Structure 1
Amino acid sequence: MRDTISPAYASLCAEIQRFHARQMQLLDSGDAEAWAATFTEDGLFAPPSLPEPVRGRAALAAGVRAAHAELAAEGEVRRHLLTTAAVADPGPDGSVRVRSYVQVVATRRDEAPRLLLMCVCDDVLVVEDGEWRVRERYVSRDDRA
Structure 2
Amino acid sequence: MTQAPHQQKETAVSAVLYAEVQQFYGRHMRAMDECRVADWTGDFMPEAVFATNARPEPQRGRVEITDNAEAAARQLQEKGTLRRHCVTTLEVQQGTGSTLLARTYALITRTVVGGRSELEFVCTCEDVLVRHEGRLFIQHRQVYRDDLPKD
TM-score (norm 2): 0.88
- Report what 1:31 is aligned to: 36
Q: How many residues align?
A: 141
1:43, CA displacement in angstroms? 0.6
> Could you say what secondary structure the match of 1:94 adopts?
coil
- Report what 1:109 is aligned to: 113
Structure 1 residue ranges (4+ consecutive) displaced by more than 4 angstroms after TM superposition = none
1:7-28 deviations in whole A, cap 9, x for unaligned?
x611111000000111101111
1:57, CA displacement in angstroms? 1.1
> Could you say what secondary structure the match of 2:125 adopts?
strand
How much is the aligned-residue C-alpha RMSD, in angstroms? 1.6
Q: Identify unmatched segments of 5+ residues in structure 2.
A: 1-6
Q: Identify unmatched segments of 5+ residues in structure 1.
A: none
- Report what 2:3 is aligned to: none
In structure 2, which of residues 62, 72, 90 is the aligned counterpart of residue 85 of structure 1?
Answer: 90
Larger Rg computed on CA atoms: 2
1:106/1:114 contact within 8 Å kept: yes
1:19-49 deviations in whole A, cap 9, x for unaligned?
0111101111111122111011101111222
Partner amino acid for 1:50?
R
Percent sequence identity is: 33
1:92, CA displacement in angstroms? 4.0
> Could you say what secondary structure the match of 1:110 adopts?
coil
